[in-house]
Structure 1
């Protein structure tokens, strides 16, 4: 019988033993430095591709114009990169692989203006702790090259018993690729980095890799990304022992040429260039993206922020939503995007592998880029190319009667399989898959009474907007970030996609605040009051601290406005309001607003003077002014409905009340829309009602214009539909289901 050794694994203990052990707390001790280094190495070098990425960035930082990469077993056995950069001084070799040794950073403040790929000095140190590292380097003023071996961050002898000091060697390196580089290059510089047996001392990490071919594919992807981005640098990558190159790009190749060579002509032939910049947000973006003739099942995005290859789910999602209006369902684009942002606005030190970065004004920058891409797509995509099959391969070519009367030789020629069949007419599309996207087609509102008909063109706004010289500020409050994260967590993906690609149909009922939109082949009834409330709340979080202002000249008396709503509440006489000190409500709410006027002005541009006069309220959207009849109600609710004691609850409740104020009101039915109304008596009261109906009709027409040309386009651009909006969106028609019903009839 074999007995397992329980000393190397956990064992069960009785409850009594567990309670006794828990009474004596374990002492805290500092980890051994070797353990610390291996933990750090495991965070930075997760796979061979991460090691190669660090080495490529070091080579490009060194001014290289040619990089040659050799890989064996997906980089686990052998990984070599040879460049013609500046090289490393012999005196720097002893500390080269120690942690936090770098020539690119001296003080922490330098991070705000860092312009190189690396800056922490951890790449080579991490690699030396989990692999056998050999570096051969030669500078311009050195008479020979120097070769050094490293282990655990320090110089190590090449063989046991030998000296660990760097050894002089020939400047061509130790491989054929290095020899070819030295012969062909006009530089007297050489820098070769060789990594062997990656993760040899981390067996669990080695076993986690599936196959060398998958790791090699990841390496080719990274090399291809940098080959596209780094113009003027030649890249080559191949497997060890193979003569064929996996990737090979010359130094004089353009960006499009590199894309053509790496990703194929199908992508390169459909590329369009775009550029956008904005000094206000401190960024400049350029790149190449495919038009609507190209689409694949998965989005391919080559993203570089300040020349660093990174990933961004927010940018990818925004680009996919932009293309949803141009590509069929399931189609995705290819895009190469280089984004240069003011280094003072970027935090590069947020991820061990530098895969992610944080930057200010992310939403505004992404919106500007997507708007430029949408503009470029709409300019070039006047026609689209579709691939069709004119005849099935197994079908026979029909022979006309005139051909039958020809000679037998001509008949034999026509029957040859090499003869191309005549093109057949394209298949007629099924009507149940057609989607109406032409905004010039008749809308549903044209079938309704003229009093709520929708104008065909937006009416000019009579509001005058003044520009402010105030510099936009970035919101760094943790509470606001929590509220934004809560919105993202409650997002409903399908409903967000419907709003992002919808076509506005028309206003159905302004009394119940119902409009119709089309999403694909489906028709939806939308409670636009509920959607507006959610949108204005999200807009308040996005523009927090950067609101515009609606100014009142002369200023309004806050207490008088609140008193108007208090009198209305007292007249209603609700049972739950018994015991409310109505006589003191106006004074109490006014005092609260005056006491907190500094915070309200700084964060919301809500200006209340010390004398209790309302100077301005926040402006959330241009082209839309909320109903000022709701202002007394809004001011009164700022007292009991806002939690002024807790910061996060305060921001949440205030923005909720502000969103309710901006939400369009429910318009009452006019006299002509009510049942049982006659116009036999034309006295003074009837004339007043007629004037009231005229004003109401004008308000309905204005609301219809705002919904079509201001609000719903805003929903399409930046609304994140949450799960709570499912109650306000109802599917009323599905073209495919309707066709099934008609087919049965």
Structure 2
């Protein structure tokens, strides 16, 4: 009876009029009294290990996302097996049937029982072998994953075998072909090599199967992958067709050259405009070669066939760099075709970063991409004289008066001439809209050249007075999970449109160094940018990208860390902030110096931040060449490394230290000169600007230097590497739109 009363009480709620009404279930979000919460309390659920079948299906879903991924794994296995001919048959986009036949060395019969077990491979023995891996696959997960989500059949024959052997697999293990039969491999007739048949892909993952829109779309993806490997794998014949069709979707002979394969797969329009390029650099440990279209060819979408160490991968950084290189040679909206094979020292590449090996990480990415783009740009400049132009003999709109006699004479003369000698009709180009005509060449006259000499903005870079030395230290690959999570957080917060604005912007000029505002042009729009905020984000990203591989700014004479922190403390005390009351300022230099000295090994290894055991500052990190931070901010930077860096948590430590380093590298707010102070408002100056107040002559020199840095160092770097995050939206304001201005002036 007591339990019935409790159950009934839990089912009753008060309505707005105060009357009781019965509900079948307690609504979500309904408040309960203390005694009701106690009765409803349940013990926490116990943690249990997942069933191995569930684990295998989860792993299979990460590796085999679509039929094209299964085929890519099978193609790579076949090429690794020394095949010179691959025949591919597809049915219903690969969901019903995906069969690949090769003439490689085959699989030994004794290895068939464990062929589809996870992490069984002939290419990897120890983890250290990853640093020198030279094959396509190495983890031994492809066939295992396929066997958990499809019906898999393998027919193979080695050179020394008298017959072929056929085996069926299910859930990673041998399975009988029919119920009641033995699961052992059975002898059969077959030719040398291996034939792998995948049927009913995703038959036990219906949600994944229903996600595919059409078989024709999946077949198009398969043809794209087969075409990529057909272009790259010279000496290997490829053929791909639909099941039941006699016509081949792709067919390339083993004797075809790279250009022949491109011609057959991508068309003669591409193949006729190809130029070859090669570039290598022992310092960065890479060698690149490939084919790219010249300036006569352009399409609406960039096509890149990218292979890194012979593995087909994708790279948004490489694609973006190529498009920027071609923007100087192609008309607006035009894109190239590029095939690039990039060989990098295996010790500098981490291929084990993506389940499908679609992405790889390698050292000195920016330097390698820059070298390749420089070579492509040079080759395009050499063949630029072969570009074809349409010409006209008369001005647009001019009329031609032709008499009857001249018509008859021209008719007689034209009848005696061949067609190639006939002159084409005059061509009148379409007149572009005025509201789309904008300055896009940064070499043209700038707005700063129109300013009076008293506020002249230097437009030429000053000669560098800094001497750079090459360090013998070998670049390292960062494998720390915490750093990878911080990098992923930046990518997740990326704002695509704002990133595109910075990637294609044209620098206009410095607007206000007091408020740290510069102007940039993006297409037909003009933006005001808080370059202090942008610099802070850029240097933080630079710290994550080059983590563990920083350069160093070395001081001719080591500096006393404690004395520098004491200077920072005095300046901080001068600000007299209410929240700083009660801080034992006299003990800060000693405490912070002790913290930095105790952690000097970690600071030197990860950040090239060197402090001697005696507490002397030997060097600070160098984030980029051509730019030196204001050393007047050094005392405050060292002082903040104590209370503002979380030294106890690894991820938080890296995040807070790099944030402080980025703040140190951010250009300071320059105070107004004597002639300008009367016109300034009462906005309080930022803390770092107080450190730089000095004579007007020194201030003017710093302004000129800052203007040069912004135009020739910082904003070009933003264009190449900045990932604009959503937080930067607060620091970018659109002030003019050419199309909008035309609408305004049209009414005047």
Please report the TM-score for the alignment, with normalisation by the length of structure 2.
0.80
RMSD over aligned CA atoms reads 4.1
Q: Secondary structure of 1:303's match?
A: strand
Corresponding position of 2:731: 728
Q: What's the offset of the Cα at 1:380?
A: 4.9
Unmatched segments (≥5 aa) in structure 2:
1-23, 27-35, 394-398, 680-693
1:71 paired residue among 90, 93, 98 = 90
Q: Secondary structure of 1:68's match?
A: strand
Could you list the per-position Cα deviations for residues 50-85 of structure 1 after superposition, in whole angstroms to 9, with x for gaps in the alignment? 333333223222222122223333334444333322
Could you list the per-position Cα deviations for residues 659-678 of structure 1 after superposition, in whole angstroms to 9, with x for gaps in the alignment? 333222333444455669xx
Q: Secondary structure of 1:436's match?
A: coil
Decide which moves more: 288-297 or 37-46: 37-46
1:54 equivalent in alignment to 2:67: no
**Compared CA separation, residues 653 and 399, structure 1 to 2 (3 A):** closer
Q: Secondary structure of 2:231's match?
A: helix
1:402 equivalent in alignment to 2:420: no
**Compared CA separation, residues 242 and 93, structure 1 to 2 (3 A):** same
Corresponding position of 1:6: none
2:363·2:475 contact (CA, 8 Å) conserved in 1?
no
Query: Following the alignment from structure 1 to structure 2, what is the Cα–Cα distance between the partners of residues 465 and 705?
Result: 19
Q: What's the offset of the Cα at 1:511?
A: 3.4
Q: Secondary structure of 1:86's match?
A: coil
2:710 paired residue among 704, 707, 710 = 707
2:155·2:166 contact (CA, 8 Å) conserved in 1?
yes
1:617 equivalent in alignment to 2:628: no
1:150 paired residue among 165, 168, 185 = 168
Could you list the per-position Cα deviations for residues 200-226 of structure 1 after superposition, in whole angstroms to 9, with x for gaps in the alignment? 566665555443323322221221111
Q: What's the offset of the Cα at 1:426?
A: 1.6
**Compared CA separation, residues 480 and 368, structure 1 to 2 (3 A):** farther
1:41·1:126 contact (CA, 8 Å) conserved in 2?
yes
2:106·2:193 contact (CA, 8 Å) conserved in 1?
yes
Query: Following the alignment from structure 1 to structure 2, what is the Cα–Cα distance between the partners of residues 29 and 630?
Result: 53
**Compared CA separation, residues 639 and 268, structure 1 to 2 (3 A):** same
Q: Secondary structure of 1:738's match?
A: helix
The residue correspondences of 1:616-635 to structure 2 (distance < 5 A) are 616-635=619-638
Corresponding position of 2:286: 283
Corresponding position of 1:81: 100
Corresponding position of 1:395: none
Q: Secondary structure of 2:403's match?
A: helix
**Compared CA separation, residues 303 and 591, structure 1 to 2 (3 A):** same
1:451·1:697 contact (CA, 8 Å) conserved in 2?
no
Query: Following the alignment from structure 2 to structure 1, what is the Cα–Cα distance between the partners of residues 697 and 533?
Result: 27
Decide which moves more: 44-53 or 58-67: 44-53
Could you list the per-position Cα deviations for residues 229-279 of structure 1 after superposition, in whole angstroms to 9, with x for gaps in the alignment? 101111112223322211111112122221121112233234343444444
Query: Following the alignment from structure 1 to structure 2, what is the Cα–Cα distance between the partners of residues 559 and 373?
Result: 51
Corresponding position of 1:302: 305
2:167·2:186 contact (CA, 8 Å) conserved in 1?
no
Q: Secondary structure of 1:724's match?
A: helix
Q: What's the offset of the Cα at 1:711?
A: 1.8
Query: Following the alignment from structure 1 to structure 2, what is the Cα–Cα distance between the partners of residues 76 and 159?
Result: 22
Query: Following the alignment from structure 1 to structure 2, what is the Cα–Cα distance between the partners of residues 526 and 434?
Result: 23
Decide which moves more: 597-606 or 516-525: 597-606
Query: Following the alignment from structure 2 to structure 1, what is the Cα–Cα distance between the partners of residues 358 and 268?
Result: 29
**Compared CA separation, residues 406 and 151, structure 1 to 2 (3 A):** closer
1:138·1:191 contact (CA, 8 Å) conserved in 2?
yes
Unmatched segments (≥5 aa) in structure 1:
1-12, 173-188, 391-397, 677-690
2:486·2:655 contact (CA, 8 Å) conserved in 1?
yes
Decide which moves more: 564-573 or 209-218: 564-573
1:666 paired residue among 665, 669, 690 = 669
**Compared CA separation, residues 594 and 451, structure 1 to 2 (3 A):** farther
The residue correspondences of 1:366-381 to structure 2 (distance < 5 A) are 366=369, 368-370=371-373, 372-373=375-376, 376-377=379-380, 380=383
1:48·1:74 contact (CA, 8 Å) conserved in 2?
yes
Query: Following the alignment from structure 2 to structure 1, what is the Cα–Cα distance between the partners of residues 452 and 287?
Result: 50
- Alignment size in residue pairs: 690
Q: Secondary structure of 2:734's match?
A: strand
Query: Following the alignment from structure 1 to structure 2, what is the Cα–Cα distance between the partners of residues 342 and 263?
Result: 31
Corresponding position of 1:117: 136
Query: Following the alignment from structure 1 to structure 2, what is the Cα–Cα distance between the partners of residues 29 and 636?
Result: 48
Please report the TM-score for the alignment, with normalisation by the length of structure 1.
0.80
1:268 equivalent in alignment to 2:287: no
1:525 equivalent in alignment to 2:544: no
